[in-house]
Amino acid sequence: MNDVNTKTYAGDVLPPLAWQWVEAGDAVVVDVRTDAERAWVGEVPGAVVIALKQWPTMALNPDFDVQLQALAQAKPGKKLLFLCRSGVRSVIAAVRAHELGLEAYNILEGFEGDADQNGHRGQLGGWRKHGLPWRQS
């Protein structure tokens, strides 16, 4: 898996459309954030967790491809909607899924959205800002 400069996946969707697809039974959210991010910041109920990188080293998950292929087999015909903190790692994951022959989308803005002028997330877009389902442990 390499970082990419060009988009080679099915497309980008805003969080509300992603949630509509999930509610309709057409898609599944794949949360590629670390365990620490989900524990500290929150998570999407029902999302499938397949971390792209592992905390604390942020090394690539060596089992990512195998886990992703197992999900695709368990959820045949479903669009895979990749979610990370801000929409960067999810692009990498969507590209990799596309390379594996899967229908993959990036969820724009991620879970927390971009940082504002004070460096705070959660105010400029993101899954939570759109008022979509989430929980915090």
Residue with tokens 């400029």: 124
CA distance 98 to 40: 30
Q: Residue 1: what pLDDT?
A: 47
Please give the structure tokens belonging to residue 62: 């060596």
Q: Residue 85: what pLDDT?
A: 92
- The phi, psi pair for 37, rounded to 5°, reads -60, -45
Q: Residue 83: what pLDDT?
A: 98
For the chain, the straight-line distance linking the first and the last C-alpha, in angstroms and rounded, comes to: 31
Q: Residue 131: what pLDDT?
A: 95
20: three-class secondary structure by DSSP? helix
In CATH, what number does 10-73+85-98+110-132 get?
3.40.250.10
Q: Residue 4: what pLDDT?
A: 47
Q: Residue 2: what pLDDT?
A: 46
Per-residue pLDDT of the chain (137 residues; tens, 9 = 90+): 444 445 689 999 999 999 999 999 999 999 999 999 999 999 999 999 999 998 888 899 999 999 999 999 999 999 999 999 988 899 999 999 999 999 999 999 999 988 788 877 777 889 999 999 999 97
Provide the whole-model pTM: 0.91
Runs of H (alpha helix) within 3-106:
15-23, 35-41, 64-74, 89-99
Runs of H (alpha helix) within the chain:
15-23, 35-41, 64-74, 89-99
CA distance 12 to 81: 9
Q: Residue 3: what pLDDT?
A: 47
